[in-house]
A = this chain, B = another copy of it.
Amino acid sequence: MPETRLDLARIRAARRVIDPVFLDSPLYRCEPLEGALGCRVSVKLETANPVRSFKGRGTEVVVSGLAGRGERAAVCASAGNLGQALAWSGRRHGLDVTVVSSPSAPAAKLERIRALGARLELVDGDFDLARARARAVADERGVRLVEDSLDVETCEGAATIGLELADAGPFDAVLIALGGGALATGAGHVVKACLPGTEVIAVQPSGAPATTLSWRERRVVTTDSTATIADGVAARRPIPDVLADLLAVADDAVLVREESIIAGMRLFLERAGLVVEPSAALGLAAILEDPARFAGRHVVTIVCGGNVDLPAYRRWLGF
């Protein structure tokens, strides 16, 4: 059992408070992808739900807890997916939600946050600036700041994906997008606990490598900037507690190039009929960059989100 802040019993309990619309997402062998990748590939599809990403699992846990304690509001910083999910869960439970984001976040994500009834505050700058502003809002208004990956509920919500993988496994390897770390530590914890022979590989863009560099050096390494189309994973300042968890569950952390991420998105569209956001293609990018490592093995990749601005998507894919 990996030593992390997470707990299997609490993760199983989390399943009971998450709206079933987020649970038991599709998991299937996707053979049309395999010819191009040289290995067996299963996809865990987290895009077919009302917020088109896995984040609803975590916000359901956070918000049901807040609502149960009689709290009426919450605020978060978000590149878009957490904000959308928190807005969705907040609306379900009657909480007033504020999301602090960057105006450079995908327009589709920002539009959905507003449509779900949340207050949206835009801060010109990157995710870490939004995080600082969200903390200030929380202090001013005396409301709960929801911090992705730091708040263990966000990790335990994401960890319910691990339970579903464990029921279907074992696999040879699980490829997990790495940003703040909620998905990698959450799903990773359960996979290591229940399928100890399955390799847990976190994948991050070379243009936003802080968490991976930290994992490799076993200490927090920050970067000055990020440069990646994978907005969902572009963090500069890893959180020490999350890094400690990641060190306990990840067998490896790899970096991939932007062109590999785009090649992965193209494979998903052309061979699997799936529109995915860049973060969701990190797993395929890792296979494309190191096919020998995965040759003939059975790999599962978590397709963590599908919120893209179509004009950008078409530009990346060249049509």
A67 within 8 Å of B (CB atoms): no
Q: How many residues of A contact B (CB 8 A)?
A: 30
A259 within 8 Å of B (CB atoms): no
The 8 Å CB contact of A28, one of B28, B49, B116, B275, is B49
Whether A273 touches B273, Cβ cut-off 8 Å, given contacts A26-B26, A30-B50, A48-B45, is no
- Least CB distance from A304 to B in Å reads 13
Please provide the chain A residues from 22 to 41 with a CB less than 8 Å away from any CB of chain B in the complex: 24-32
- Least CB distance from A117 to B in Å reads 11
A112 within 8 Å of B (CB atoms): yes
Q: A319: which B residues are within 8 A, CB to CB?
A: 314, 319
Are B25 and A26 touching (Cβ within 8 A)?
A: yes
A181 within 8 Å of B (CB atoms): no
Please provide the chain A residues from 123 to 150 with a CB less than 8 Å away from any CB of chain B in the complex: none
Q: How far is the CA of A200 from the CA of B188 in the complex (A)?
A: 44
Are B21 and A50 touching (Cβ within 8 A)?
A: no
Are A273 and B275 touching (Cβ within 8 A)?
A: yes
23 pairs from A and B in contact (CB 8 Å cutoff): A21-B26, A21-B27, A21-B28, A24-B24, A26-B26, A26-B49, A28-B48, A28-B49, A28-B50, A29-B50, A31-B50, A31-B116, A32-B115, A48-B48, A52-B273, A269-B275, A270-B310, A273-B275, A273-B306, A273-B307, A273-B308, A275-B275, A314-B319
Q: Which residues of A contact B (CB under 8 A)?
A: 21, 24-32, 45, 47-50, 52, 112, 115-116, 269-270, 273-275, 306-308, 310, 314, 319
Closest 5 pairs (CB-CB, A-B): A26-B48, A273-B306, A273-B275, A21-B28, A28-B50
